Chain A
Amino acid sequence: MAQPRTVVMVPVDADTVTIGARDVKNRFAEAIGRRGLAAEISVFEVGSFGPSDAGVIAAVQPDGLVYGGLTPERVDRIVEEHFVKGRPCREWLLPGEYPLPDPRAADARRTQYAGRIVLDNCGRINPERIDEYIANDGYFALGKALSEMTPAAVVGEVKQSGLRGRGGAGFPTGLKWGFCAAESGPEKYVICNADEGEPGTFKDRLIMEGDPHKVIEGMALCGYAIGAHQGYIYIRGEYKLSIERLHQAMAAARDYGLLGDNILDSGFRFDIEIKIGAGAYVCGEETALIESMEGKRGLPRLKPPFPAQAGFRQKPTNVNNVETLANIPAIIYRGADWFRRAGTENMPGTKVYTILGHVLRPGLIEVSGGVTLRDIIGDYAGGMKTGTFKMAQLGGTAGDLIGGEMLDVPLNYDALEKVGHTLGSGAILIMNESVGVCDFLHACMRFFAHESCGNCNPCRNGLRWLTAITDRLKRGTGYPGDIEIMEEIATVLKTAAFCPLGQSPAGPIVSALRYFRAEIEKGIDRKSARPKPDHTARALATFAG
């Protein structure tokens, strides 16, 4: 088969689909075909390059050029000028430092590709072609495990790597696998938690859309390690493109004998099914997710027993986040020592972040654990889009709000813990001075109040109170004492809520008070000397109104 001399790669993901990426890709194929260049120039869809600020884009390789802001009409011109006449359309080219999917380029900050573990294929390969995944060492880890390693050795390697869960809690993955592997019985399950509901977090979606086979391989490796033969991907109903690409990838893997009854003739049996959620934030908590998979209301279960002992169908179950599983193939194929070269002692490897808010270049990045927030804003996100930095929220809506004094703390579990913060899911929301702290807190509390599953009192009622109080504060009509009540509720949530999702709203409240107490106090009306209210009645009445 003739090799094309040029390839055009159009990132098609749920972000770019909304602005017409499919039309652009189809127009490229059409126009190139019409010119009789189809044998020389191949056009395909890839996953996200990372940033999502330049509209529909297309990379032309090996020229190393990236076009931005594409429309079907512009595509016609590009095909005519660039491909037929050999003159790139300079006016639509993105500046030279635009991250290009070229892992060989030297400057990591420019390319953002060097050192990637999870996203190394995203934007570089066609996610709908299994051959391209295999050509980039895909399924080599599975082959290695099945032919050279015992299940215990696989668990050992993951333990050795020091990988910690990337869903938010940061629990050591190898340890979790070890618990499940230690359980006896033939019926165990692997669940991939793709119910990405933490506002601001969309890394899992872009991983599944850009490199679905990596997740599938990670799940198969987990199945082999813990002795499970069935995997499930619990995914949000809204993630249509992810679901489509996963289905396609699973079918291709079955065709190649990489999923199914006798994987690579090793006698190992493993397959995967997709379960679609119906919209509930709490289902990101692993026991609530399992309840939902069983067709029930997604209420968290009492632990112990942990899912490793009694999970789905009361059988031993291992639940991991998408990004966690996507780290596994590299760890097994290249070894734990290789993995530990990146990151820090207590947080080896890389972390995928989604950067959003008032920055020039929102999107997806993968960096090692020593990077600071200042680096991320300045180098990766292109700086502030408007205004100056005021605050950031780390780890989604359940994350801590931090002020400018924390810009130089490295983003890893230990360094953040030392200053009293957590890393969370990987979302980083950057805000400028136009955002009021009370206004923002109210938006967060309204979200949690809506998503509370209603199972336990601290979360169900506490969040209604916090919504009402933050609403008053943002209007400047807070009562004296409101801040103290807010602190008290945060303490109750933290200590008495049933599940992690009920405990987490305390994070934004406590941290906001730490950095922005003076601004929050301005929300209290001390002048009009209104009578001290009956808090119960008034708080709930305000909420209802």
Chain B
Amino acid sequence: MTVAEIVEKHGNHRENLLSILHAIQDAAPDRCLHRDALDELSELMKIALSDLVGTATFYSMFSLTPRGRHIIRLCESPPCYVLGSDNILEALRERLSIGIGETTPDGLFTLEHTSCLGACGVAPVMSIDDEVYGNLTAEKVNAIIDRIVDDHITAAAARKAD
């Protein structure tokens, strides 16, 4: 969907701005809000670009820099911290060779911190895209990452075969 279509669908009104930003970001292959999209949005909604950027950067779910295909968000809130989220961060760092806020060179994963995901009953917790994973251990993290990588390899092989 183009920016204009998204605005049309949600209604050109300031109250709908957060939904519109969500939709624009989801539509971008690199999961971020691009400058040209924001320029266009500014024009369409008659909201100053500075105001748009100010709003988008206020919320942690929006990004202005390109991100990977899958966004890993590790909970850093105290309840997860007490139950060992630091070990999980270490496992992710080791497995992906990236730190918080970075993207793997193959563009597959971006690692982020998040505040409480509300799944503290199964802490420590992380989410990858829309899925939440609980009761994490280093082994479990590796298995989850392996599975996603395998899925991509299989999908790529299938595309090649076609």
Interface residues of A (CB under 8 A from B): 14-15, 17-19, 52, 196-202, 205, 236-240, 275-281, 292-298, 354, 356-358, 362-364, 393, 397, 427, 429, 431, 435, 440, 443-444, 446-447, 450-451, 453
Contacts and interface: CB of A to CB of B under 8 A. Distances in A.
Interface string B41-54: 00000000000001
Given A197-B116, A199-B115, A277-B59, 7 more contacts: A201-B120, A280-B58, A295-B15, A397-B77, A427-B120, A440-B82, A443-B81
B78 A295 contact: no
A276 B118 contact: no
Contacts of B14: 294-296
Given A18-B132, A202-B121, A446 B58 contact: no
Interface stretch (B18-26, B88-96, B103-111, B153-161): B18-26
B99 interface: no
Interface residues of B, number: 42
Given A440-B82, A444-B78, A280 B60 contact: yes
A362 B78 CA distance: 15
Contacts of A363: 121
A438 B77 CA distance: 15
Contacts of B133: 18
Given A295-B17, A356-B79, A429-B82, A202 B119 contact: yes
Q: Pick the 7 closest A-B CB pairs, nearest first.
A: A52-B121, A295-B17, A199-B77, A278-B59, A279-B60, A199-B116, A279-B61
Interface in B93-141: 113-123, 125, 127, 130-135
Given A18-B134, A200-B120, A295 B77 contact: no
A228 to B, nearest CB: 17
B120 A278 contact: no
Contacts of B87: none
Contacts of B19: 276
Contact of B18 (A295, A358, A443): A295
B121 A19 contact: no
Interface string B5-16: 000000001111
B159 to A, nearest CB: 27
A444 B77 CA distance: 7
A358 B123 CA distance: 11
Given A15-B134, A18-B134, A294-B15, A447 B76 contact: yes
Contacts of A196: 118
B82 A435 contact: yes
B78 A397 contact: yes
Residue with the greatest number of chain A CB neighbours at <10 A, chosen from B77, B114, B132: B77
A198 B116 contact: yes
Contacts of A15: 119, 121-122, 134
A297 B18 CA distance: 10
Contacts of A356: 79, 120-121, 123
Contacts of A238: 117-118, 127, 132
B111 to A, nearest CB: 16
Contact of A237 (B61, B79, B123, B125): B61
Contacts of A297: 54-55, 58
Given A14-B119, A199-B115, A240 B77 contact: no
B122 A239 contact: no
B153 to A, nearest CB: 23
B83 interface: yes
Nearest to A432: B82
A15, A276, A280 — which one has the most chain B CB atoms within 10 A of its CB? A15
Contact of A281 (B16, B115, B120): B115
A294 B118 CA distance: 25
Contacts of A198: 116
17 contacts: A15-B122, A18-B125, A52-B121, A196-B118, A198-B116, A199-B79, A202-B119, A236-B118, A277-B59, A279-B115, A295-B14, A296-B14, A296-B55, A354-B121, A356-B120, A429-B78, A440-B82
Nearest to A429: B79
Contact of B130 (A240, A298, A440): A240
A238 B119 CA distance: 10
Contact of A292 (B18, B119, B122): B18
Contacts of B121: 15, 52, 202, 354, 356, 362-364
